[in-house]
Chains A and B, each alone.
Chain A
Amino acid sequence: MAERIMMKGNEAFAEGAIKAGCHFFFGYPITPQNEIPEYMSRRMPEVGGTFIQAESEVSAINMVYGAGGAGARAMTSSSSPGVSLKQEGISYIAAAEVPCVIVNVARGGPGLGGLTPSQADYFQAVKGGGHGDYHMVVFAPASVQEIIDLMYEAFVTADKYRTPVMVLADGLLGQMMEPVVLRDWEDLQIPEKPWATTGMVSGKPQSVINSLGLAPEELENLNLRLQKKYRTIEENGVRYEEDGVEDAELIIVAYGTSARVSKSAIAKARAEGKKVGLFRPITLWPFPSKRLAELAEAGKRFMAVEMSAGQMIEDVKLAVNGKTEVEFYGRYNGAIPSVTEVYQAIIKSFDNREVQK
């Protein structure tokens, strides 16, 4: 068993990536994720990897596109305004089917916003973000240990499906320290990539990494292929965690930091006999819609708790499809809901039910 050490969330993104075999990091400074490039600038030379502080987020994502296209495990990290700049590159990467990982340690927006944690980049992450019909797999860790584990999953998923993968956290997860176990992955094996642009050495046919489809049928074929891939990922790639949903009347749906806060609030409400559970999506895309639909079918009510004006709630509502109620509790951009606030929202929800009865 590897030893337990204290680690900051941002450092965990970096070390988690290196443990997952990523030797190429391209980034640009932006708070609250600066510890990632700083850590990488120190660590990459130690592992024989490459760190480049790019001239912009735009360049950084395009360096990832180049290195990923050449077959390497490559990543970039940023925070909300910087991730907006990367959208052009992410759209190209999704279309060209280049595996890579993008970390977003989100902060409050819109615009320059603030430096405090936020979950308001949900739409951007799961609905495409850039132009065109595409998705990327989005993982949402809720602890520093999970950051490390999901960084590994992210690179494996990216290679498996030849897709960009985002690990979406917020400034709180990036900045907090927790004990972690750093594992050496036994099955760390980067798959063969015959499609990569490694040169036409020894008769290898020409590899072209490209997203241009001038002929309508050519472009439609690309999109049909992408959609088929997305259905496969939806079928096999959904991840979530449940806590006390079986007997629950009300299920809190929350991810990342909101899920941690909700967990404490749920424990408090449970202690008072309120039948409330937690449903935590670990993949935001693909969203665990099927399971939520089953729970709705079983008559459960839902409450989305988010650090935004309400974004994930739309996917919850789509999953529930009008079968039961979906409530919302959120603090907008930059504010973290307290345990007491979420607890009170839970109690209020039960009280309202009593009045209706």
Chain B
Amino acid sequence: MKQVFGYPESLQTRPNHYCPGCTHGIIHRLVAEAIDELQVREKAIAVAPVGCAVLAYNYFNCDAQQAAHGRAPAVATGIKRALPDRIVFTYQGDGDLASIGMAEIVHAANRGENITVIFVNNAIYGMTGGQMAPTTLPGQKTTTSPYGRDTATTGYPIQVCEMLSTLKAPAFIARVSVHDPKNVLKAKEAIKKAFEYQVNGKGFTLVEVLSTCPTNWGMTPVEALKWLENNMIPAFPLGTFRSLEEVSK
């Protein structure tokens, strides 16, 4: 018998610290698989965010810098400009990227920085204990929206892919999900394509991955996957928003 599914080389063997059923682990593995398949592990440099994925440098088997909250795209810009032949990627959550780091992501995208951004959207602040995120759904209860997100005073979930797609420079922008095996395969495809674009010097790439937070959503991991499918996908439609090939939504 031949191994058809195993442990990617670009992932360190150390177990991750994520809560049981948190899909960060799946997304980490997909990034590692993409890096493996493109054979760029030795050239890869990760930029870790502040948030649940702050320890990403303990998991990705490549060089890494840890950035201040929201600043990962600026740090990645500095690395990539210094080492243009390296493969530089950020791994950021929704609070990090779409709240405190909104300026950094918009301008890195607008400059067309040849980096890859993995944007993990789980509609909540995980690490700090389940506060309202810029991507929290209307009515969703969090520890800082205990009566449910009130759109009259806190606005609506920010659709990052749609927003960044108004810019001319980005080369690839896609939103995927990891709530079932089929979508995990699609997510892998998008992540790999984003890295491939970078390898070929095509410019800025971002993959938004809809993810779960069973702990702070107050659900079992399996319930959380269902909740993602039923509630997040309608608010954050899946698809490719920008591509140098055909765009499908």
Contacts and interface: CB of A to CB of B under 8 A. Distances in A.
A69 B66 CA distance: 10
Interface residues of A, number: 39
A315 interface: no
A197 B45 contact: yes
Contact of A62 (B48, B74, B80, B82): B74
A201 B43 contact: yes
A88 B48 CA distance: 16
A230 interface: no
Interface string B77-118: 111111100100000000000000001101100010000000
Contact of A58 (B43, B48, B64, B71): B71
Nearest to A59: B74
Contact of A89 (B43, B68, B76, B86): B68
A208 B66 contact: yes
Contacts of A74: 78, 82
A55 B103 contact: yes
B82 A70 contact: yes
A209 interface: yes
A181 interface: no
Counting chain B CB atoms within 10 Å of each CB, the highest count among A60, A70, A88, A208 belongs to: A70
Contacts of A63: 74-75, 77-78, 81
B45 A70 contact: yes
Contacts of B48: 210
Interface residues of B, number: 35
A54 interface: yes
A274 to B, nearest CB: 52
Interface in A280-305: none
A92 B79 contact: no
Interface string B41-64: 111110110000011010001111
B107 A55 contact: yes
Contacts, number: 134
Nearest to B63: A197
A308 B211 CA distance: 52
Given A199-B86, A200-B62, A70 B71 contact: no
B107 A65 contact: no
A52 B104 CA distance: 13
Interface in A190-213: 197-202, 206-212
B235 interface: no
B216 interface: no
A174 interface: no
A59 B43 contact: no
Counting chain A CB atoms within 10 Å of each CB, the highest count among B55, B64, B71 belongs to: B71
A127 B66 CA distance: 24
A54 B74 contact: yes
Nearest to A56: B103
B140 interface: no
Nearest to B46: A197
B103 A198 contact: no
Contacts of A59: 71, 74, 77, 103-104, 107
Interface of A: 24, 26, 50, 52, 54-56, 58-60, 62-72, 74, 88-89, 92, 96, 197-202, 206-212
Given A50-B82, A69-B75, A206-B61, 12 more contacts: A24-B78, A50-B81, A55-B104, A59-B74, A63-B81, A66-B65, A66-B76, A67-B79, A89-B71, A198-B83, A211-B66, A212-B55
4 closest residue pairs by CB, A with B: A66-B78, A62-B74, A67-B78, A55-B107
